Amino acid sequence: MGVVTYNYDSTSPVAPARLFKAFVLEADKVWPIAAPHAIKSIEVEANPGPGCIVKINFVEGLPFQYMKHQIGGHDENKFSYSYSLIEGGPLGNKLEKINYENKFEAAVGGGSVCKSSMKFYTFGDYVITEDEIKALIKGSEGVYKAIEAYLLANPDACN
């Protein structure tokens, strides 16, 4: 097994507190409404909090039917959260899991910067390439941008 770490930043005109709430605290409600082109539903399989499993079900026609995340934890004061993709989605037979650590920070001039650190745990001697990582990020950006657009169009959401 190998481990590849990749860091990625994305900017948003939305404040960190609202993004954190939409992506962490109210994801099961917000995501299917904000990204109906991709997200069918989100199921929390245990009490919300560290260790619980969250299943994200995708709409028909996408490359994956679902993904399961295991929640690592979150800090509402620092707008940070962590989780691991443990089943479904892009894992296939090459990736054991992907760990994510994300933090929303205030950007200079308003809005926010999402700082992400991803660790890809591969099976055997497989080495994930930067192009493969960028393709995975591009796929998830569609949902991220849809949630951002939803928050901009609905100023009372996730306050």
Give me the phi and psi of 138, to 5 degrees please: -60, -40
List the structure tokens of 105: 């920070």
Are the C-beta atoms of 100 and 90 separated by less than 8 Å?
no
Domains and CATH numbers, the chain: 2-153 (3.30.530.20)
Q: What is the pTM of this model?
A: 0.92
CA quadruple 152, 154, 155, 156: dihedral positive or negative? Answer: negative
Closest CA to 4 of 98, 104, 114: 98
Tell me the pLDDT tens digit for each residue of 89-127: 999 999 999 999 999 999 999 999 999 999 999 999 999
Are the C-beta atoms of 142 and 150 separated by less than 8 Å?
no
